[in-house]
Amino acid sequence: ACMELQQAYKDQCSTHTFFLDEIRCLTPDEMDQLLSKVNSLHLQIDTSSSDRWVVKGLKDGVNEVVRLIQDALQHNAYPSNIFVHGCLNANVFQQIQRIQNMDLRRLYEGRKIELENKNGSVGAAEKILYYGTSEESCSSIMKSNFNRNFAGQNGNSTNYGHGTYFAVNTSYSAQNKYAVPAADGTQLMFVARVLTGYYGLGQADMRTPPVHVAPDRYDSVVDNMQNPSMFVVFHDCQAYPDYLITFK
């Protein structure tokens, strides 16, 4: 009977992982709400890892904490940056959706550590960049990440190599040939985390970045070394779809 009770309790429990950059987005008041809810719901937070918090406890309680943090992130995240970096403004901006794909995020964080260890002071050089997409491709990206094998399809350029292209400004990614309008006129754009590391100049025939310091290659390529407006990566784990913007 004791074993059955233990199993029944385990069945009612769950865990959820939050990366530290998500926790850092919380305001002091939101952090107070989080800790108060954790205490009142008798949950546990494992903060032993340097880059994530793990919340453990009964499913209903964990789900409440997840909703609290997700609601906060929806309000606190990138809209101000998005309005600054291009054409999206209050009259076209409709929604921003946080994407939480833990499997993709773990692969991305693993690649980030690799680049930080390899590149010394330059590190992984994480940037927030933009990627216009179609309704048709959207769910695939959220599930399986950006795919460099699609280079050259659906109006995508290969002027700087056969990789995945991310724009510095929203105005580029908002073009209809990238953010393909749906039947109701709405368009989609991802806000992506991209690890640019050391970058070189791209060329049309490239399938990998050029050699930087032999035997190492550059981590990404750009359209202009002095003032890049486009970054191209050739490693699928080197980008992560963080938010999806709906605009019109």
pLDDT-derived band of residue 119, with 50, 70 and 90 as boundaries?
very high
Q: Is the dihedral of CA 209, 211, 213, 216 positive or negative?
A: positive
Q: In this structure, are residues 170 and 189 in contact, taking their beta carbons and an 8 Å threshold?
A: yes
pLDDT digit string, tens, across residues 181-236: 999 999 999 999 999 999 999 999 899 999 998 899 999 999 999 999 999 999 98
How many C-alpha atoms does 114 have within 13 Å on its Cβ side? 13
| Mean pLDDT calculated for residue range 48-59 | 84
Do 33 and 147 lie in one domain? The reply is no
Q: In this structure, are residues 146 and 104 in contact, taking their beta carbons and an 8 Å threshold?
A: no
pLDDT-derived band of residue 3, with 50, 70 and 90 as boundaries?
low
Do 91 and 66 lie in one domain? The reply is no
pLDDT-derived band of residue 76, with 50, 70 and 90 as boundaries?
low
Do 62 and 103 lie in one domain? The reply is no
Q: Is the dihedral of CA 198, 201, 207, 210 positive or negative?
A: negative
Do 67 and 96 lie in one domain? The reply is no
89: tokens are: 């403004």
pLDDT-derived band of residue 87, with 50, 70 and 90 as boundaries?
low
What's the alpha-carbon Rg for the chain, to the nearest Å? 20
Q: In this structure, are residues 191 and 242 in contact, taking their beta carbons and an 8 Å threshold?
A: yes
Do 115 and 224 lie in one domain? The reply is yes
Asked if the structure places residue 81 within a domain, the reply is no
pLDDT digit string, tens, across residues 122-136: 999 999 999 999 999
| Mean pLDDT calculated for residue range 63-68 | 87
Do 112 and 226 lie in one domain? The reply is yes
Q: What's the CA gap between 125 and 131, in Å, rounded?
A: 18
Do 72 and 96 lie in one domain? The reply is no
Determine the pLDDT at residue 115: 96
Q: In this structure, are residues 164 and 151 in contact, taking their beta carbons and an 8 Å threshold?
A: yes
**Domain count of the fold of the chain:** 2
Q: In this structure, are residues 233 and 166 in contact, taking their beta carbons and an 8 Å threshold?
A: yes
Asked if the structure places residue 131 within a domain, the reply is yes
Instruction: Looking at mean pLDDT, say which of 9-18, 46-55, 157-166 comes out highest.
Output: 157-166
Asked if the structure places residue 150 within a domain, the reply is yes
pLDDT, mean over the chain = 84
Do 241 and 160 lie in one domain? The reply is yes
- The CA distances from residue 194 to 71, 122, 241, in Å, are 24, 14, 9
pLDDT at 154 over 50: no
Q: What's the CA gap between 34 and 41, in Å, rounded?
A: 11
pLDDT at 1 over 90: no
Q: What's the CA gap between 245 and 132, in Å, rounded?
A: 9
Pairwise pLDDT comparison (77 vs 217), residue with the higher score? 217
Give the torsion through C-alpha atoms of 26, 34, 240, 129, to 10 deg.
-10
Q: Which helix (H) or strand (E) holds 239?
A: strand 239-247
Domain that holds residue 97: 87-247
Beta strands in 106-158 (DSSP E): 126-133
CATH number at residue 148: 3.90.228.10
Predicted TM-score (pTM) of this structure: 0.73
Q: Percent helix, strand, coil in the chain (nearest 5)?
A: 35, 25, 35
